[in-house]
């Protein structure tokens, strides 16, 4: 194949990938009537009304705020718990360390639905139901093991002599950990945060089960397809388009390191 043709296959592939996203975005600028009326590639009556509803109606925009709150809480908890755990796995040998490490992974094998019922009962009993913290904690179930796995890979890439040199140079463990070690694996922490963010952001079942009104996530809001005013497909499309944005922003910041996370086989 000549050089000039090489672009053809990737372009086709990218078009194929972009098509549904384009469809979603195009739909978000149409009225519901136009969407139900038939297929059109470009919006016939371009409208921003759908977005206006989302940004003005609290039942919509609160969904985003709720989601962002519990996702951020979850990411912070996951990473701060996983940092010392991953350090222990990468630096020390202790009884059953390898089994424990593998067991962490098995936590990811169970579908979250399995845990929905016990979580619901537990959180109702202790008064956490319908709070952001409830969802954030529930998501730790799969995010902490993931974070430990990713971080352990990055940490094992740092020779243990770095720790030893810092002690020799007069640092205590805690100062070393905060001042030297964390900056050194900053890329790993970024990748980890991205994956925690991502998994928590897209998870629907637990988030929906554990909330009713006060902490209702956007994904749950989007599951109502019809309201008193009939179908609101345009609105849904706009909500969907907006849901993609946070992930896109986060991935932009870690784009250079993400391949390393994959290369370590930890993602």
Task: Using the rule CB under 8 A, give the single segment among 77-85, 183-191, 227-235, 257-265 that binds other proteins.
Answer: 183-191
| Window 184-223: contact mask with other proteins (x via CB under 8 A) | x-x-------------------------------------
Tell me how far, at minimum, the Cβ of 154 lies from other proteins, in Å.
13
Nearer to other proteins, 183 or 265 (CB): 183
Q: Which of residues 170, 223, 228, 252 is near other proteins by CB under 8 A?
A: 170
Residue 169 is a binding residue for other proteins (CB under 8 A):
yes
Residue 159 is a binding residue for other proteins (CB under 8 A):
yes
Structure tokens at 4: 């000039």
Longest dimension (CA), the chain: 74
Q: Which of 257, 80, 72 is nearest to 154 (CA)?
A: 257
Tell me how far, at minimum, the Cβ of 192 lies from other proteins, in Å.
18
Residue 59 is a binding residue for other proteins (CB under 8 A):
no
Count CB atoms within 10 A of the CB of residue 98: 10
DSSP classification of residue 177: I
Residue 99 is a binding residue for other proteins (CB under 8 A):
no
Residues in binding contact with other proteins, number by CB under 8 A: 16
Question: Distance (Å, rounded) from C-alpha 77 to C-alpha 226?
Answer: 36
Q: Which of residues 79-98 bind other proteins (CB under 8 A)?
A: 93
- For residue 231, the cross-strand partners are 226
CA distances for 85 relative to 31, 89, 152, 199, 263, angstroms:
51, 6, 8, 20, 21
Residue 167 is a binding residue for other proteins (CB under 8 A):
yes
Question: Distance (Å, rounded) from C-alpha 143 to C-alpha 141?
Answer: 6
Residue 183 is a binding residue for other proteins (CB under 8 A):
yes
Task: Using the rule CB under 8 A, give the single segment among 45-53, 55-63, 117-125, 176-184 that binds other proteins.
Answer: 176-184
Question: Distance (Å, rounded) from C-alpha 119 to C-alpha 210?
Answer: 8
Token pair 């205590």: residue? 172
Tell me how far, at minimum, the Cβ of 184 lies from other proteins, in Å.
6
> Do 133 and 123 contact (CB within 8 A), yes or no?
no
Tell me how far, at minimum, the Cβ of 69 lies from other proteins, in Å.
31
Question: Distance (Å, rounded) from C-alpha 205 to C-alpha 142?
Answer: 13
Tell me how far, at minimum, the Cβ of 113 lies from other proteins, in Å.
39
Q: Which residues bind other proteins (CB under 8 A)?
A: 93, 159, 161-162, 164-165, 167-172, 180, 183-184, 186
């Amino acid at each position: 194949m000549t050089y000039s043709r090489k672009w053809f296959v990737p372009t086709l592939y990218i078009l194929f990938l972009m098509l549904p996203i384009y469809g979603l975005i195009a739909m978000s600028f149409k009225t519901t009537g136009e969407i139900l009326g038939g297929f059109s590639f470009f919006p016939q009556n371009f409208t921003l009304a759908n977005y206006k509803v989302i940004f003005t109606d609290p039942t919509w925009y609160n969904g985003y705020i709720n989601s962002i709150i519990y996702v951020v809480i979850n990411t912070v908890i996951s990473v701060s718990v996983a940092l010392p755990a991953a350090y222990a796995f990468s630096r020390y040998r202790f009884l059953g360390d390898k089994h424990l490490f593998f067991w962490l992974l098995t936590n990811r094998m169970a579908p979250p639905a399995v845990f929905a019922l016990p979580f619901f009962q537990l959180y109702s009993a202790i008064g956490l139901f319908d709070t952001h913290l409830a969802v954030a904690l529930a998501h730790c179930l799969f995010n902490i093991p993931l974070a430990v796995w990713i971080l352990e890979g990055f940490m094992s890439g740092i020779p243990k002599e770095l720790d030893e040199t810092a002690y020799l140079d007069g640092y205590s463990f805690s100062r070393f950990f905060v001042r030297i070690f964390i900056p050194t694996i900053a890329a790993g922490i970024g990748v980890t945060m991205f994956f925690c963010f991502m998994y928590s952001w897209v998870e629907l079942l637990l988030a929906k089960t554990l909330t009713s009104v006060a902490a209702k996530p956007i994904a749950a809001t989007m599951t109502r397809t019809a309201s008193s005013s009939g179908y609101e497909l345009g609105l849904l499309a706009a909500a969907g388009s907006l849901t993609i944005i946070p992930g896109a922003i986060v991935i932009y910041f870690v784009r250079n390191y993400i391949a390393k996370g994959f290369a370590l086989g930890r993602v």
